[in-house]
Amino acid sequence: MTGLPVIRAHDYARAVTPSPSPGPADLEFDLDRSSPVPLYYQLAQQLESAIEHGTLPPGSLLGNEIELANRLGLSRPTVRQGIQSLVDKGLLVRRRGIGTQVVHSQVKRPLELSSLYDDLETAGQHPSTRVLRNEIQPASAEVAAALGISEGAEVAVVERLRLTHGQPMAQLRNHVPAGLLELDTDRLESTGLYRMMRSAGVTLHSANQSIGAREATAEEAELLEEPEGAALLTMRRTAYDNTGRAVEYGSHVYRASRYTFQFQLLVRG
């Protein structure tokens, strides 16, 4: 049995108990008591950073609140508030008889023309894919308008479940003009759609994208392992190649408990 990462404050006190999970390491948490930033927030932010970077992997066990408070030299309400903020984000879970445990890190995806598979792999999230559907069908009015083709024209429809660390993250539905490339199911389960496009000589150039939110249907909730009515993020995207041709129309839903979009805002001069 190996130890898990150890959180250290200024006095380098231990704050994580041993667990069967691999990867022992030391974390140095710098809690600045003179800062106007509340200590609970400092603790939560630095814990979240350790989770996101994989230093505290899924399954890591934290000591109980009293132990953490004593070892970090903090009050119990401070520790409780910091931990609760991460429980609310879905990064930690309290399990009876076990304690507070790391569940997973939340994926923060930049708003740019990239595939979810590439983003997850870059972030060290170990993506995997289950193909739910891969078939040719007539384009609906919505799909035809998005791809700039005639209604009823043939399109390839690919529906996939994307997972990280074995846990469902998103349900992806993509429509691609028939004949654009070979959409082999085995390859779709081992790599991303945009990688397959690049391999087929398709040069992605730009996209129109909209983001929204809604509640999960019963079917989506079961597939994504969320309660029925849970919050989902939605994304619709039409991607274009370097000739201006629409090459893909995607309609995706993501677990809001595990996924956020990030973007930078600039002031116009």
80-118 pLDDT per residue, tens: 888 888 877 777 777 777 778 777 655 555 445 555 655
Please give the distance of CA 4 from its chain centroid, rounded to a whole number.
23
Check residue 49 and report its DSSP letter.
Answer: H
For the chain, the helix, strand and coil percentages under 3-state DSSP, each to the nearest 5: 25, 35, 40
DSSP assignment string, 182-249 = ---HHHHTTS-HHHHHHHTT--EEEEEEEEEEEEPPHHHHHHHT--TT-EEEEEEEEEEETTS-EEEE
- Output the pLDDT for position 115: 59
22-74 pLDDT per residue, tens: 322 345 667 888 888 888 888 888 888 777 766 777 777 776 777 777 777 88
Angle of helix 76-88 relative to helix 39-52, nearest 10 degrees, comes to 40
> How does strand 107-110 pair with strand 259-262?
parallel
User: Residue holding tokens 């559907």?
Assistant: 133
Residues 184, 6: Cα–Cα separation, whole Å: 45
* Side chain identity at residue 254, one-letter code: Y
Q: And the tokens for 24?
A: 């022992």
Q: And the tokens for 91?
A: 């990064």
Higher pLDDT, 108 or 212: 212
- Output the pLDDT for position 21: 41
Residues 263, 252: Cα–Cα separation, whole Å: 18
Among 72, 78, 75, 83, CA closest to 13: 72
What the chain holds in terms of domains, given with CATH numbers, is 39-102 (1.10.10.10), 116-255 (3.40.1410.10)
Residues 178, 143: Cα–Cα separation, whole Å: 13
- Output the pLDDT for position 128: 86
Q: For the chain, how far is it from start to end, CA to CA, in angstroms? A: 58
Higher pLDDT, 37 or 183: 183
Per the DSSP assignment, residues forming a β-bridge with 213 are: 233
CB 259 within 8 A of CB 106: yes
pTM: 0.57
